[in-house]
Structure 1
């Protein structure tokens, strides 16, 4: 994992606090795991996944750390705003809200 991109521990925002800041960026169930690699850490996308409004999928820890640096999707540079996400309680998958 690329650790030099992240601030030292005293200045690092905890993942729990980020989880509260982006409450609707939700984990995908393991059954929804996709083939491929996380674009941030380059490891297999198997567990602990989240989906952004742009439908790009990342490991939970990877994308939350990324969002500390920039509120943008690392692949398409779409702005990530927690208010643009909707939690579907039945399957725990975050999906974009319809346009107003």
Structure 2
């Protein structure tokens, strides 16, 4: 995992990160609702049950909001699995959904 993080930080093909507007469209969930565990892979600290976390819709990995936003502002993919975030689907649905979970 450390190798993939290292490569992602220094590869020129990593791509442009997400804008603040795009980041704000990613879902925020209670840490206890994260399906993939409670460790933030960016800072390696636990996400406490009472904290709000940022969830990446493409893979459901969760992170501290600050950690996710800092990473995603530089890299348009998940720091754990490198799942690419589809910018075109980052729209807020009228029902309050995040677009990535809605059927196409």
The TM-score, its normalising length taken from structure 1, stands at 0.60
**2:66 matched to which residue of 1?**
61
Aligned to 1:77: 82
Gapped runs of 5+ residues in structure 1? 6-16
Counterpart for residue 25 of structure 1: 26
Q: In structure 1, how many angstroms separate the alpha carbons of the residues matched to 2:93 and 2:30?
A: 12
**Is the 2:23–2:72 Cα contact (8 Å) retained in structure 1?**
no
> How far did residue 37 of structure 1 move?
1.1
Q: Partners of 1:89 and 1:45 in 2: how far apart?
A: 30
Structure holding more strand per residue = 1
**Equivalent residue number for residue 48 of structure 1:** 52
Residue 23 of structure 1: how far off its partner (Å) = 2.8
Report the number of matched residues.
83
Q: Aligned in 2, Cα 1:97/1:31: closer, same or farther, shift over 3 Å?
A: closer
CA RMSD of aligned residues (A): 3.2
Kindly state the Cα deviation for residue 73 of structure 1 after the two structures are TM-superposed.
0.3
- The two structures have a TM-score, normalised by structure 2, of 0.58
